[in-house]
Structure 1
Amino acid sequence: MTALQSLRLTRPTEALVPLASLKSHLVVEHDEDDALITALGEAAYEHLTGLDTPWQRVWLQERWRDYWPDFSRRPLLRMAPVIGLHRVTYINTAGIEMLIKPAACRIQREAGGGVRVVFAEGYELPSDVAPREDAVRIDYEAGYGPEPGDVPAPVAHAVRLLVGHWYRNREEVVVSQASPKELPMGVKALMAPFRRIGVEAWDNPPAAQASGSGETAVAGEAQTPD
Structure 2
Amino acid sequence: MPQTLISPPVDEPVSLAEVKDHLRLDDDTDDALVESLIAAARAHVERVTNRRLMTQEWRLQFDAVRDDGRLDLAVSPVLSVDAVRVYDRNGTPSVIDEAAYEADIVSVPARIAFAEGAPRPGRRLGGIEVDVTAGYGAAAADVPAPLRHAVKMLVAHWYEQRQASTDDAAMVMVPLGFSALVAPYRVRLI
Q: Smaller-chain TM-score range?
A: 0.7 to 0.9
Where does residue 58 of structure 1 map in the other structure? 52
Is the 8 Å Cα contact of residues 166 and 173 (structure 1) preserved in structure 2? no
Please state if 1:188 is matched with 2:179.
yes
Q: Distance in 1 between matches of 2:24 and 2:114?
A: 53
| Closer/same/farther in 2, CA of residues 180 and 105 from structure 1, 3 Å limit | farther
TM normalised by structure 2 equals: 0.88
Q: Give the 5 Å matches for 1:35-74.
A: 35-50=32-47, 53=48, 55-72=49-66, 73-74=69-70
Please state if 1:135 is matched with 2:135.
no
Letter in 1 for 2:144: P
Is the 8 Å Cα contact of residues 71 and 125 (structure 1) preserved in structure 2? no
| Closer/same/farther in 2, CA of residues 83 and 130 from structure 1, 3 Å limit | same
CA RMSD of aligned residues (A): 2.1
Where does residue 3 of structure 2 map in the other structure? 6
Q: Distance in 2 between matches of 1:30 and 1:147?
A: 26
Q: Which has the higher strand share?
A: 2
Q: Which runs of 4+ in 1 moved over 3 A?
A: none
- Flag the structure with larger Rg: 1
Report Cα offsets for 1:27-83 as digits up to 9, x if no partner: 111111111111111111111113xx2x11111111122211233541111111111
Please state whether the residue corresponding to 1:172 is helix, strand or coil: coil
Unaligned runs of 5+ in 1: 201-226
Percentage identity across aligned positions?
Answer: 32
Aligned residues: 185
Q: Which has the higher helix share?
A: 2
Letter in 2 for 1:28: L
Where does residue 140 of structure 2 map in the other structure? 148
Where does residue 215 of structure 1 map in the other structure? none
TM normalised by structure 1 equals: 0.75
Where does residue 29 of structure 1 map in the other structure? 26
Q: Distance in 1 between matches of 2:3 and 2:30?
A: 35
- Post-superposition offset of 1:146: 1.4
- Post-superposition offset of 1:173: 7.6
Letter in 2 for 1:20: A
| Closer/same/farther in 2, CA of residues 109 and 35 from structure 1, 3 Å limit | closer
Where does residue 126 of structure 1 map in the other structure? 119
Unaligned runs of 5+ in 2: none
Please state whether the residue corresponding to 1:49 is helix, strand or coil: helix
Report Cα offsets for 1:89-119 as digits up to 9, x if no partner: 01112221110012322312576x3321023
